[in-house]
Amino acid sequence: MITTIDDNTDGFRLNLIPMALTSSDASSRSLFEATLALSSFHLGNQGEALKHKLQAIKSLSASFQDVNAGRIAQFSGCMILCVYSGFDASDTSRNVHLQGAKTLTQVFSQKDQNSPSLAFLEVWLDYHDTFSMHSYPRKSSKLRLVDIVLPEGNMVNRKIVGLLGCSTELNRLISCINQLHTLTISPPPVRSASKTDYGISGLSHLTHKRLLNLKQEIHIQPGESAGTISHARITLTAEIYRIGALLYLN
């Protein structure tokens, strides 16, 4: 449901599930209940999903009263609730959970910074932050055209990441489109052309060219407990994201 590649890089199974099951503190319980909420919703049982979601929020709130609570478990609980809100059209708290997760990253301890889960979690946060910018554009007062930097087009960035459904290069190109959108809507409707306008146009054309020529690649890291890998699903999902990005840019 939330990853297209269930191999030995799947942090949902390899990092989050053990985190939810190996501790009984409030932060881990929150992650556990949030995961059950998402699973219940996926199975079509919205009543059970709501019950688990409310318990997840209650446990998460309780965990903030404990100075020794696991910050990564709290972060993961926020993110699962954010994912849940993305699937449940009646839940409008997605951005609240996302901002909560972003705030927690600012208080990660040195131990948290050294966690093997962190690389997975950072990509997960970046993905949701990119897509939240579409619904909640950033303030443009401090954004400059020179700050919009297109990602490098290399083999690492072209690799499809399961939790993204696409490559990190495409995710960052979408982030650039968000920033271009912010710049174009911020000035007054009536104005004369400026050098900035031409710069936006040039960067838009360059982004368009990058999206047209982007070739996303599949790299699988198989393992004993890996799930079923569908190359067709992986490829088609990534291509849908690329076409969607082109439509968004246009």
CA end-to-end span of the chain, whole Å? 29
C-alpha to C-alpha distance for 188 and 191, rounded to whole angstroms: 7
Residue 37 and residue 53 in contact, taking contact as beta carbons nearer than 8 Å: yes
The amino acid at 159? K
**What pTM, to 2 d.p., does this model score?**
0.86
**The predicted structure's pLDDT at residue 144:** 80
- pLDDT tens for 105-149 read 998 988 888 888 888 999 999 999 998 887 777 666 667 887 888
**The predicted structure's pLDDT at residue 96:** 94
Tokens 């809100």 correspond to what residue? Answer: 85
Q: Which residues are registered as beta bridge partners of 161?
A: 166
How many whole angstroms from its chain centre is CA 143?
Answer: 22
**The predicted structure's pLDDT at residue 181:** 87
**The predicted structure's pLDDT at residue 174:** 96
- Parse the chain into domains and list their residue ranges: 1-116, 137-250
Residues 6+ positions from 78 with CB-CB distance below 8 Å: 60, 97, 98, 100, 101, 104
User: At 154, is the secondary structure helix, strand, or coil?
Assistant: coil
Question: Cα-Cα-Cα-Cα dihedral of 4, 56, 87, 120, to 10°?
Answer: -30
C-alpha to C-alpha distance for 204 and 2, rounded to whole angstroms: 30
**The predicted structure's pLDDT at residue 188:** 46
**The predicted structure's pLDDT at residue 141:** 60
C-alpha to C-alpha distance for 104 and 233, rounded to whole angstroms: 33
pLDDT along the chain (250 residues), means of 10: 89 92 92 96 95 97 89 95 92 93 91 88 93 76 79 93 95 94 67 62 94 96 84 96 96
Q: Which residues are registered as beta bridge partners of 167?
A: 160
Question: Cα-Cα-Cα-Cα dihedral of 78, 30, 166, 146, to 10°?
Answer: 20
C-alpha to C-alpha distance for 203 and 180, rounded to whole angstroms: 8
